[in-house]
Amino acid sequence: MEEKNQLIVLAPLKKRKKIAENTYEVSFKLPHVFVFKSGQYARITLPSLLAPDPRGNQRDFSIASSPNSRSLSIAVRDTKSGFKKTLLEGENVQAEIQGPFGLFTLPEDASHHLIFIAGGIGVTPFLSMIRFVMEEKLPYTITLLYVNKSQDSAAYLKELRKLDGENENFLLKEHVGHLTKDVIKEKVERSEDSLFYLAGTPQMVNDTKDMLLELGIELKNITMEEFSGYLKDVEPQAATVLSKESSHVKPAKKDKKLGAGIEGELARRSLSDLEALLQALNNTAIVSETNAAGTITFVNDKFIEISKYSRQELIGQNHRILKSSFHSKAFYENLWATITRGRLWRGQIKNKAKDGSYYWVDTSIAPILERGEPIKYISVRFPITERQQAEEQLQERAKQQSVLTILSQEALANPDMTSLFDNACRLLAQTLGVEYCAVLKLLPGGIQLVYDAGVGFNAEKGKTIVSAESQESMAGYTLASKEPVIIEDLSNEARFSGSDLLHDHNIMSGISVIIHGQEHPYGILEVHTMQKRIFTAEDINFIQAVANLLANAARNQLDKRKDEFLGIASHELKTPLTSIKTFIQLLHKHSRRQNDEHSLLFLSRINTQVNKMAELINDLLDISRINSGKLEYHDNLFSLSELVEDIIREQQLTTQRHKIIFEDKVKQQIYADKFRIGQVLINLLSNAIKYAPDADKIIVRTEKQGDKITLSVHDFGIGIPKKEQQHIFDRFYQGDIKKREDFPGGLGLGLYISSEIVKRHKGQIWVESEEGKGSIFYVSLPIKV
Ligand code: ADP
């Protein structure tokens, strides 16, 4: 269950510090979205090792840092393994951090006195809890009995002593040497409701537990953790993980009290005691017993009531009869590996009743051992209430939300789409607990998709092709149906045959959604699993949300590339244009000398066209400067009236038809960029001339309202339809096609650039217009003098 709520993040190694003999603290810098509770475990994967390590490149560690600190610190004994070598000596180490694992953390009820007993480096989870309690000023009182072989080997001793000195509610008791009952009695003051937490080597934890029981402490008040980090680097990886998951007793949470207690009871009592115990549980718990092969030999009444099978139907069967296909194969393998090793397994399982309905149970399975070998298994389950389920769903949502947050941050920071897509796939697969996830990109032409990014698939990125035909592939079908597509069993799928990519990977269930593009879909995002899985509406929403985020990132990326192209293209166009202009001038001089009227006429026409071209290129350059935030402004105090008069004079030269009238009501100076404000007015006037071919006048007005000046350009031309008015200030917008054909020669940039300039001056630009009657463009600017 817990695995579903885990996240993986990439974290750089920040610091290494010696904290005791042969012991180091290693800290990683964590992103904000990665949330731990104090004391919990993290799995650390080092992508490449400095030296080979038979145990591989992963280890689980308890965190030593408070979850408040943005770095995750762990304590490491240097065992000279390849893994530790990399961790302690590697340069620029980046680790994949996964978690949280495990439940070894503070109880919810702060009223208990907490007694932590730590052996050696087992102190790490406690340090994390203590740091957290002190930083947050939480009302726990804590005594830590810290047992070490020698003072030199005691990690974090300085810091613990300091915390002891600074905090009233924390007491450190040190002990060097072997822990005995007498030491506990002498050093620890306990009361009825003290809760004991033990962490250290399995041996130390077990011995301490026995001592506490002998001292009359109830087992339900003892929480244990065999601290795997302390083990010599010899045990295979799986064993350390399993031992951690199965070995601790949960802190007494009220509604789970019985569940927590029962584990210990089962482990402690002899076989003959069990029957009485099971009897007592009959009304609340679902109890069953299987033989060593897993065949059911006993079920209680509650089992029958909840599973809706009769006793006859159950006895002689395997628990597989209840399997809901919700959990992965690995989940059951893990369960079996744990109990066949003689360890207790605890977890939450979704089961299927005879009538097809589902129910969740909090399950403990205890092996009964004879000479170290399991001879039977007793399982005790408590139905999980709806509230708990709702809580879990809520947690799941929160995790999904955090995945979306990570991805959007990454999309902003990382221009590399492929790595963003790969990460999205990894996080999606992980959050949903599936093995496969892929981004298939639609290729130009729309008849094929290419495997672009993903996890789980053994396929070459950028090379493996999937058909986009709707009968052939799930992706093709999704594109055609334009909505998310779900498969429950690919082998029974009637709508499409399914791509080789899916069949080759034995895929059974999955969902695919469209990653929308601007005009065509960008591609498909799909998740798959080899197990039968029924995806929920929430799963679909989550996947679609990730797809939308990716679509957005791809779009932004495309826009960015277009902008870059624009910048380069306009710059490159400008250079030859400058030399063309120089040659025109030379030719002009030459023709004048020769009195070549003909050439002079042609040259002046060429010159007009080249000037037009230069204007267009200047517009393009402005756009790319605006996009990259590099359009420069030089503000000065100047007379607006004089500027308007100059520009009218200039523009009047370009038209004989229109008389440009200036009604100047203010003779006001303003503080602004004169050149850029002039550019705005030139744009408005040239539009007024261009879009009013049959009119005979244009009126320019200036008016003062409070601390603002409003400049308006009124033409009596074709006007602008209502629905176009909201778009005319957009980049490259030119109204409908007909207008574009009737009034060629623009790029749809003038008004966009004008509005950017006005915005930069903290002013406003807008239009009032009626089709067939004309338009008034207004620009209002703060005077600022
Ligand atoms: P361009 O004129 O180069 O197409 P602009 O950004 O200056 O680009 O204008 C955008 C669009 O707004 C024009 O294509 C036109 O459809 C409309 N428009 C602008 N000014 C006027 C006007 N004075 N009268 C009618 N339509 C106008």
pLDDT of 456 reads 94
Amino acid at 137: K
Q: Which residue's CA lies nearest to atom 12 of ligand 1? A: 728
Please write the tens of the pLDDT for every residue from 555-608.
888 888 888 888 888 888 888 888 888 889 889 999 999 999 999 999 999 998
* β-strand partners of 527: 437, 511
> If you take atom 8 of ligand 1, which residue's CA is the nearest one?
748
Q: What is the pLDDT of residues 283-328, one digit of tens each?
A: 678 989 898 888 998 888 889 999 999 999 999 888 888 988 777 7
The pLDDT assigned to 594 comes to 92
* Three-state secondary structure call for residue 462: coil
Residue 147 tokens, joined: 């047992």
Instruction: Please state the atom number of ligand 1 nearest to the C-alpha of residue 688.
Output: 23
Separation CA 702–CA 674 (nearest Å): 16
Contacts by residues 180-188 (CB-CB < 8 Å, ≥ 24 positions apart): 180/211, 181/211, 181/214, 181/215, 183/145, 184/117, 184/145, 184/208, 184/211, 184/212, 184/215, 185/215, 187/145, 188/115, 188/117, 188/143, 188/145
Angle at 390 between CA 386 and CA 392, to 5 degrees: 115
Going by CA atoms, what residue is nearest to atom 3 of ligand 1?
A: 746
What pLDDT was estimated at residue 527? Answer: 96
739 lines ligand 1 (CB under 6 A): yes
pLDDT of res. 148 = 93
pLDDT of 752 reads 93
Sign of the torsion formed by the C-alpha atoms of 607, 612, 618 and 624 = negative
**Which protein residue has the closest C-alpha to ligand 1 atom 13?**
734
Asked if residue 754 has its Cβ within 6 Å of ligand 1, the reply is: no
The answer to whether the beta carbons of residues 244 and 225 sit under 8 Å apart is yes
pLDDT score, position 781: 95
Which residues in the chain show pLDDT less than 70?
1-6, 32-33, 102-103, 226-280, 282-283, 385, 387-388, 785
The CB of 718 under 6 Å from ligand 1? The reply is: yes
459 lines ligand 1 (CB under 6 A): no
Which atom of ligand 1 sits closest to the CA of residue 692? 24
Going from the Cα of 680 to the center of ligand 1, the distance in angstroms, rounded, reads: 13
- With a 6 Å cutoff on the Cβ, whether 521 touches ligand 1 is no
CA of 672 to the centre of ligand 1 (A): 25
Is 627 close to ligand 1, i.e. is its CB under 6 Å away?
A: no
pLDDT in tens, 696-712: 999 999 999 889 999 99
Q: What is the pLDDT of residue 240?
A: 28
Q: Which two tokens stand for residue 585?
A: 């001038």
Q: Of 276, 297, 280, which Cα lies nearest the Cα of 288? A: 297
pLDDT > 90 in the chain, percent: 43
CA of 656 to the centre of ligand 1 (A): 21
Take residue 735 and report the two structure tokens written for it.
Answer: 């109204």
